[in-house]
Amino acid sequence: MEVDDRFVVVTLIEGEVYCIEDLCTHDGGTLGDGEVEGNCIACPRHGAKFDLRTGNALTMPATEATLSHEVKVEDGKVFVQLAN
């Protein structure tokens, strides 16, 4: 999903909407096409897993968190505050 020229992954987990940067911190590739399992998404290239709620890197080869963005839901619309 594109927000202000940047790509993000938006997910609904147990009734809560979360948004993280669509970027694997391991090789700079995209996460969006990765498989989602529970609270994590696995990078389709090398399998690094990230927490969809916090952006934290959970497994190698990623060691750094990807950005997590603030989300607000109003009248069924999702608003994202992009982090820098």
56 forms part of the interface with another protein (CB under 8 A)? no
Q: How far is the CB of 29 from another protein (least distance, A)?
A: 8
14 forms part of the interface with another protein (CB under 8 A)? no
2 forms part of the interface with another protein (CB under 8 A)? yes
Among 14, 15, 28, 77, binds another protein (CB under 8 A): 28
CB closer to another protein out of 2 and 75: 2
Contacts of 60 (CB under 8 A, 6+ apart): 48
- Cβ burial, residue 25 (10 Å; 0-12/13-18/19+): buried
